[in-house]
Amino acid sequence: MFALGFGLGTKNKKGEWLEAFFPAPILSPEREIVGIVKKNTSYTDGNRDLALSAKEISECAREIKDTEQKKLLEKLASSSMPKVISVIETDGAVKSTPEAYLKLHLLSTRLAKPNGMNLENIFTCLPTVAWTSDGAIDPNELEEVIMENRLRGKHIEIFSLDKFPRMTNYVIPSGVRIAHSARIRLGAFLGEGTTVMHEGFVNFNAGTTGPNMVEGRISQGVVVGSGTDLGGSASTAGTLSGGGNVLITIGKDCLISANAGTGIPLGDRCTIEAGLYITPGTLVRVLDEDRKTIKEVKARELSGQSDMLFIRNSLSGVVECRTNRNAISLNPLLHDNN
């Protein structure tokens, strides 16, 4: 068994799931819990999500020995919101909205790491939702809701129309600081000690191992190693669009300076100067410690190597790769987020 989660969700007027909240997802659940679920619900096998009654959840709660899980199920049973269980027997392509949300919860709760699960088909299974001060609403039902609120003299705030909600409406990781919560999607993985400033952005299935300073953008699939600093408006190439298929990893103690970026994986202790974007096809002149040219290569041939300093020669305009003798060091006081 891969994972399961008991939760609450929101449906539209057609009875379709818009979103699901799993407060304590379980990775690799014990046979005992799976047996309790099979006994007290209609679940038999496979990857399935089921709408549950309060009675079914209460019966599961009575038999579960884990105190925290028991208390959680008792709380869920008392809610008037639609109740759901998502069971993932095998890690295959995503087949439903609750299953998609369970996998996103596994990432943001640090139970699963980026690129460690099958997220194929997730966009098909995530409906576009109006995220509002009144909760999740089907965009096709939004005008009616706005009118109903106005007639009562109320104002509804619409934060976004998107497939992904903000992470902090579902999961609060320990030991992190997030200056602008709307810029962290559910499914982001933020390691302990990570600080994300106002212009920082972390997509789903991407993130940091911590501690890290993030003032730039971490695209889908990108993983940033501990001690690395992404400067203001720095960016990393993802694989969702544009034909890229190489997963970008950035090693430990690197610096991607302001307005810089990378489309190739980097090892440890690498630096890219401000304003320089390294694409796989960028022609790079590799220099030795005496600043003599060794060779000229396309940047993809340097993928994953450590101790590289990428700069643009101010006289010739040529991109150079030198030995990086000075690894960056984050200020520990800024990343003690407890």
| Model pLDDT, residue 281 | 95
Q: What is the pLDDT of residues 198-235, one digit of tens each?
A: 999 999 999 999 999 999 999 999 999 999 999 999 99
Q: What is the pLDDT of residues 284-296, one digit of tens each?
A: 999 988 889 999 9
Contacts 24+ apart (CB under 8 A), 150-158: 156/132, 157/132, 157/133, 158/130, 158/131, 158/132, 158/133
In terms of CATH architecture, what is 130-162?
2-Layer Sandwich (3.30)
Q: pLDDT-derived band of residue 327, with 50, 70 and 90 as boundaries?
A: low
Rounded Cα distance between 225 and 275, Å, is 21
Nearest to 98 by CA among 108, 113, 88, 109: 88
Q: What is the pLDDT of residues 136-167, one digit of tens each?
A: 999 999 999 999 999 999 999 999 999 999 99
Q: pLDDT-derived band of residue 328, with 50, 70 and 90 as boundaries?
A: low
Rounded Cα distance between 192 and 176, Å, is 6
| Model pLDDT, residue 218 | 97
Per-domain residue ranges for the chain?
3-126, 130-162, 167-335
| Model pLDDT, residue 245 | 73
- Is the model's pLDDT at 88 over the cut of 60? yes
- Is the model's pLDDT at 15 over the cut of 80? yes
| Model pLDDT, residue 332 | 73
Stretch 19-36: mean pLDDT: 97
- Is the model's pLDDT at 68 over the cut of 60? yes
130-162 and 3-126 share a CATH fold = no
Nearest to 186 by CA among 201, 166, 160: 166
Q: Would residue 89 show up in a list of annotated catalytic residues for this protein?
A: no
Asked if 29 and 80 touch (Cβ cutoff 8 Å), the reply is: no
Please list, in sequence order, all residues whose beta carbon lies within 8 angstroms of the beta carbon of residue 110, skipping any fewer than 6 positions away.
173, 189, 191
- Show the CA angle centred on residue 303, arms to residues 227 and 262, nearest 5°: 60
Percent of the chain with pLDDT over 70: 96
Q: Is the pTM of this model over 0.75?
A: yes
| Model pLDDT, residue 330 | 72
Rounded to the nearest 5°, which phi and psi values hold at 155?
Answer: -120, 130
- Show the CA angle centred on residue 335, arms to residues 330 and 336, nearest 5°: 135
CATH placement of domain 3-126: 3.30.70.2010
Which one of 56, 99, 192, 215 is the catalytic residue?
A: 215
In terms of CATH architecture, what is 167-335?
3 Solenoid (2.160)
- Is the model's pLDDT at 47 over the cut of 80? yes
Instruction: Tell me what the pLDDT averaged over the chain comes to.
Output: 95
Q: What is the pLDDT of residues 104-136, one digit of tens each?
A: 999 999 999 999 999 999 999 999 999 999 999
Q: What is the pLDDT of residues 231-268, one digit of tens each?
A: 999 999 987 655 557 889 999 999 999 999 999 999 99
